[in-house]
A and B are shown apart, each in its own frame.
Chain A
């Protein structure tokens, strides 16, 4: 089959090879790999601080209540304990974020807004004393009526409206209109290393915080505000971090503040290491969402009108909700051309723990809905899911609903065609269809739901396509004004200075790769300084798939400037002269500040303009087996094709696609949080389940490069793209196997069996709903 390449310059990386024009030699081994493999890598709980005490958080057991009093039982010897309350907060009792609505600790007399909300802190020399102290402390509250339904809540965190064309007129002229409602619940990031922080008082009255985190400068800002410290007094040092996925984007500010308050009051280091139960119960999750589609199409499957409503549940405090909602709104139509679009998005407050960042950041929720809806439209029109996408996907020159012209770096068609080719999508789909015709018990269960059919397993294949805006939305990068630096020390070492953190995705390897390539020196000649706010500039948070694109871009430019400077001074090549030049002329440090990419600025008021400098594109084909007796789903294999602009390190990039794909598979099938009275019921690993190696599909990754022209290396980011596309592909495969469309995630066996048998009671509550106490 010939490949049509719509985007000039889009090339496919064959597994195991390096594309032309790339860094010489084999992609280097992960820089910190050996330490991780020998047990030498030091995560936060591995760090030793002599004389450190242990900290504990006293948390609310009410979802909504007045905090009346904290009673300390006088029989206990409280002189051995440090107790910290809001009265001990020297600065603002606010966790610094977009809106200043979340307290560090609820003050006595104040209003508790969610289950597990922090009320007070304890520190003690050992855990037995800490446990005993907790038993002698009582929290008194007066319950208040809680709100758990985001549709009912009257407190709005944010809303956006996007519109183009004449939606109502277009509906009037459409050949077919299809409506659908899709609901997704909470998803827990489930990094295998729990949140952990150790705070150490500094001699200057400040505090140094060592911890598991993604964004040192977010924690830094929080410490400055909460503890009234200056830039130097607040010091944040990232320890080796065992996974983040967004779950350690903003939450570390909370636990960092708590550890710091205790350390300050105790006058000694304090260790705050969460156990798994506390981590699941109290930290941020993916926003639950309700997405409603009303779509008009022509008989030959072209989109003529999209009317989309997005409602997200922000939990009790604002945190990052406006940005999650924004990205969700902007991606909600899917990667498709449609001249008449209306998108209305809002996020409301409920009395549940605040939700936050998780890989995809609003896009997985809305793209699940968009893709499932499009697949249902295809079915209604008797078009293949492949053909309907071919007819509607974005091509270079197309315009998005915000008026952004997709000038270059558009590879929707390329990833789609690569994925379906590698997966033999059309051939398998036809084969599975024929197999199903000769079988009873497919689709709705005929007759009694207690009776099995002759065949127990049904197989299906499903397809989805997604887009993901690279970097921060709109003017986000401009506001961040990131700085990254390359330094040539007097001793002749080349060092990268950046706040971008390594959490497994490969920062510590790819950034030196890019700088080494720009300087034309061996990979091992470039070091990367530890992420310590005392030494590195604020290159922005390690989120939004921006590290390779934005920070990598800054570092390449800094390296180019360093190289030019040294070569101009020495008259020779950098690689041959830099050591001597450093020895004789001293250190050189090049700071590179972010400058806006060319394009149409984004107008936050009208939500028009270039929402993102570029988009990444991904397609996914999933094959599943469904047990028709029980509704259990086994995702057998997945083909993932991802355009990431430029593949800096094939193995690391594949690793991101594979890991993101499995998280999406878990989201689609078994990861579920049920709530009772605003409390998560799935609050241990026995009950919040993620895929094991036996649950995981075989994953084949195809990396595509449609470079982004405004950064020297063309990279667009890889981390989140695979998360957007996996779930709808799995749900489409389930529909192919069973004939039923599941619009709620996870597509659990309960929901599948309920749909097949026409028995809603089997399914249980809808995602995100809280059952009464």
Chain B
């Protein structure tokens, strides 16, 4: 067991775990941040997507020893301090981009990275940005609508 220090959702944290513990397990178990989900454990479904130093990665494939000193952002870090939905989340709510919701946290993180990098409301570019996030409920249609809506800056109705 070793102590690893990183920043998660703007909070400095310290965990004492084996170095090969998956970042996914550190988030869900040690830090009780269960918003990030495990869908496959093999990096295929994207449900565990988080931002690691701003880049979307699948947390099931990152050992904590490689996240030492990193800045991590999860779905819990998107909303405001009083749980106000951010523009992207509000867009998903508006268009119906979440059905069962299990893919949603990872999908939001990939979408957030796309928007942070200046991504626009282009169908093809959005599909490419979320190609690593599987959804079985929506057919992706309203997810893409939501991301395009957020990209266009015309989001209304944040709760």
With A192-B103, A655-B142 as contacts: A245 and B42 at CB distance below 8 Å: no
With A30-B96, A34-B93, A276-B42 as contacts: A658 and B127 at CB distance below 8 Å: no
Task: Determine how close the nearest CB of chain A comes to the CB of B99; give it in whole angstroms.
Answer: 3
Contact status A43-B136, CB under 8 Å:
no
Contact status B96-A39, CB under 8 Å:
no
Task: Determine how close the nearest CB of chain A comes to the CB of B75; give it in whole angstroms.
Answer: 4
A293 and B4 alpha carbons, distance in the complex (Å): 65
Contact status A276-B41, CB under 8 Å:
yes
Taking CB atoms, residues of chain B closer than 8 Å to A240 are 101
A659 and B100 alpha carbons, distance in the complex (Å): 11
Query: A396: CB under 8 A from chain B?
Result: no
- Give residues of chain B (22-37) contacting chain A, Cβ–Cβ below 8 Å: 28, 33-37
Taking CB atoms, residues of chain A closer than 8 Å to B126 are 693
Query: A685: CB under 8 A from chain B?
Result: yes
Mostly helix, strand, loop or mixed at chain B's interface? loop
**How many residue-residue contacts, CB under 8 A, span A and B?**
171
Contact status B140-A693, CB under 8 Å:
yes
Contact status A504-B141, CB under 8 Å:
no
With A685-B44, A693-B144, A698-B123 as contacts: A38 and B101 at CB distance below 8 Å: no
A189 and B47 alpha carbons, distance in the complex (Å): 17
Query: B7: CB under 8 A from chain A?
Result: no
Give the residue name and chain of the A residue nearest to B74 (CB): A39
Task: Determine how close the nearest CB of chain A comes to the CB of B43; give it in whole angstroms.
Answer: 9
Contact status A692-B134, CB under 8 Å:
yes
Task: Determine how close the nearest CB of chain B comes to the CB of A625; give it in whole angstroms.
Answer: 14
| A43, A190, A658: the one within 8 Å of B141 (CB) | A658
A624 and B95 alpha carbons, distance in the complex (Å): 27
Contact status B139-A36, CB under 8 Å:
no
Give the residue name and chain of the B residue nearest to A685 (CB): B44
A534 and B104 alpha carbons, distance in the complex (Å): 30
Give the residue name and chain of the A residue nearest to B92 (CB): A37
A704 and B94 alpha carbons, distance in the complex (Å): 23
A34 and B75 alpha carbons, distance in the complex (Å): 12
Taking CB atoms, residues of chain B closer than 8 Å to A276 are 39-42, 45
Give the residue name and chain of the B residue nearest to A650 (CB): B96
Contact status B131-A192, CB under 8 Å:
no
Contact status A685-B100, CB under 8 Å:
no
A191 and B47 alpha carbons, distance in the complex (Å): 12
Taking CB atoms, residues of chain B closer than 8 Å to A243 are 100, 102, 136-137
Contact status A38-B131, CB under 8 Å:
no
A146 and B90 alpha carbons, distance in the complex (Å): 54
A727 and B23 alpha carbons, distance in the complex (Å): 39
Query: A1: CB under 8 A from chain B?
Result: no
A658 and B40 alpha carbons, distance in the complex (Å): 24
Interface size range on A against B: 35 or more
| B37, B41, B85, B138: the one within 8 Å of A659 (CB) | B138
A685 and B42 alpha carbons, distance in the complex (Å): 8
Indicate with 1 or 0, residue by residue over B95-124, a CB within 8 angstroms of chain A CB atoms.
Answer: 110111111110010000000000000010
A8 and B89 alpha carbons, distance in the complex (Å): 41
Query: A662: CB under 8 A from chain B?
Result: yes
Contact status B136-A191, CB under 8 Å:
yes
Task: Determine how close the nearest CB of chain A comes to the CB of B108; give it in whole angstroms.
Answer: 7
Contact status A699-B100, CB under 8 Å:
no
With A40-B35, A192-B100 as contacts: A655 and B76 at CB distance below 8 Å: no
A504 and B130 alpha carbons, distance in the complex (Å): 20
With A33-B98, A36-B101, A192-B100 as contacts: A693 and B93 at CB distance below 8 Å: no
Contact status B138-A658, CB under 8 Å:
yes
Considering residues B34, B94, B135, B139, which has the most beta carbons from chain A within 10 angstroms of its beta carbon? B139
A241 and B39 alpha carbons, distance in the complex (Å): 13
Given contacts A40-B83, A693-B133, 12 further A-B contacts (CB under 8 A): A30-B96, A37-B101, A37-B108, A45-B37, A192-B47, A193-B39, A242-B37, A243-B136, A504-B100, A655-B96, A685-B44, A693-B128
User: Which 9 residue pairs across A and B have the least CB separation, nearest first?
Assistant: A39-B35, A242-B102, A504-B100, A36-B101, A504-B99, A658-B139, A685-B44, A662-B139, A46-B34
15 residue pairs bridging A and B, Cβ less than 8 Å apart: A33-B93, A36-B101, A37-B104, A38-B75, A39-B33, A193-B39, A194-B39, A242-B101, A243-B136, A275-B41, A504-B98, A651-B95, A693-B133, A696-B140, A699-B139
Interface, chain B (partner A; CB < 8 A) = 28, 33-42, 44-45, 47, 74-76, 78-79, 83, 85, 89, 92-96, 98-105, 108, 123, 126-128, 130-144, 159
